[in-house]
Amino acid sequence: MQNNLDTNYPEYDIQILGINGAGLEHGNTSITAGRNIPWLQDVGHTGEPNVWTSWEVTYRDVIILDTDNTMVGAFNLTTHDLRNWDSYNALIQIFLDTAMSHRAPLLGDASNDNQVTGRDLIAVQQNFGSVDPNNPTDGLLLGDANDDGLVTGADLIAVQQNFGNTLAPVGAEVPEPASACLLALGGLGAMAHRRQVAV
């Protein structure tokens, strides 16, 4: 799965890693044998954070974290066997949705169409002086090309400096990473006793 994400969606920089629960250290050797996945051991010392407890992990959970390492969801591999393409694709889509929702805005895109063109100059002109009523700004104010919540001369400069840039749709390959999503596989034996899925 990691190879699939790296090859087909490199702009999202999605990373998969495993975390074994505190007290289950004895299984680390068998769970990582023959696999190429970064593996961490939760130690759960008294007074220290224990991610399994704070994330309420159950056996074979996939925990999806955003770029701030905040849990945004869980996907259980017992319920959703990755040998089933519907389950596999559903998990890929969860990764992409999470990464896309935390993607940096396209500076200069004053018309919210994921590209910087003449339409953006017109959007700035037609909305000059507008103020975003949302606090913090939601990035959707027409004419606000720099996402500061105001339509001013700075937006004209943002359009000029970024003219011709586009924000690639999901699945398109672009050279620069836009965001990162961290994933943790929870549960000792999360991938044991199964055929190996390419990760």
Percent of the chain with pLDDT over 90: 31
CA–CA distance, 166 with 115 (Å, rounded to integer): 4
| Three-state SS at 115 | strand
CA–CA distance, 103 with 178 (Å, rounded to integer): 6
Question: Which pTM does this prediction carry?
Answer: 0.55
Among all chains, which residue has been given the structure tokens 């004419």?
A: 143
Residue 23, pLDDT > 80, answer: yes
pLDDT for 135: 64
115 compared with 133, residue with greater pLDDT: 115
Q: Which of 136, 134, 156 is nearest to 146 (CA)?
A: 156
Residue 24, pLDDT > 90, answer: no
CA–CA distance, 66 with 48 (Å, rounded to integer): 22
Question: In one letter, which amino acid is 24?
Answer: L
pLDDT confidence tier of residue 89, bands split at 50, 70 and 90:
very high
The H-assigned helical ranges of 103-152 are 118-127
Residue 171, pLDDT > 80, answer: no
With vertex at residue 135, the alpha carbon angle to CA 131 and CA 139, rounded to the nearest 5 degrees, is 65
Span 8-17, mean pLDDT? 86
Does residue 40 contact residue 18 with C-beta atoms inside 8 Å?
A: yes
pLDDT for 46: 67
Span 97-108, mean pLDDT? 77
| Three-state SS at 184 | strand
Residue 45, pLDDT > 50, answer: yes
Residues with Cβ within 8 Å of 39's Cβ and at least 6 positions away in sequence, in order, are 17, 18, 19, 20, 28, 31, 32
pLDDT for 86: 94
pLDDT for 117: 93
| Top-ranked range on mean pLDDT: pick from 69-73, 177-181, 190-194 | 69-73
